[in-house]
Amino acid sequence: MLLLTVVVTVTLAGFGCKTVSKEVVERSKPISLKYWRVFDGDDTFSDIILAYNALHPNITIQYRKLLFEEYERELLNAIAEDRGPDIFSLHHTKLPEWQERLLPVAPVLSVPFREIQGT
């Protein structure tokens, strides 16, 4: 009976050991996102960014506030030179001007799901 218990325990323990797919590993790698704004300072978003980082420890957000006078020029140049931010803000009155320069967001966004046990 003891031998049967050991064999069953060892066999069942192996079922929980799965390798993580390459896709999950790739999607869990560290990511750095550049976020540019003109209207708010670092202090406005620091708590929001910290809360986001607590939920997504593999994602770092680099927040940059630009001066109103330089924002559009810097943003346009950065996008043209393929060094633009991943996230940026525009005042709603500027959207018609920028419409031809922007691409729509993908219809489906997927985020890797990571289960953390013992918390």
CATH value at residue 56: 3.40.190.10
**Residues 6 or more apart from 78 whose CB is under 8 A from it?**
84, 85
**Two structure tokens written together for 24:** 């999950």
Instruction: Check residue 5 and give its pLDDT.
Output: 38
Is 56 contained in some domain? yes
Give the CA dihedral 42, 48, 50, 54, nearest 10 degrees: -160
CB 97 within 8 A of CB 119: no
Q: What is the largest CA-CA distance in the chain?
A: 80
Residue 5 counted as domain residue: no
Residue 110 lies in a domain: no
- At 116 the pLDDT is 66
% of the chain at pLDDT higher than 90: 33
* pTM given for the model: 0.62
User: 107 lies in a domain?
Assistant: no
Domain that holds residue 47: 26-99
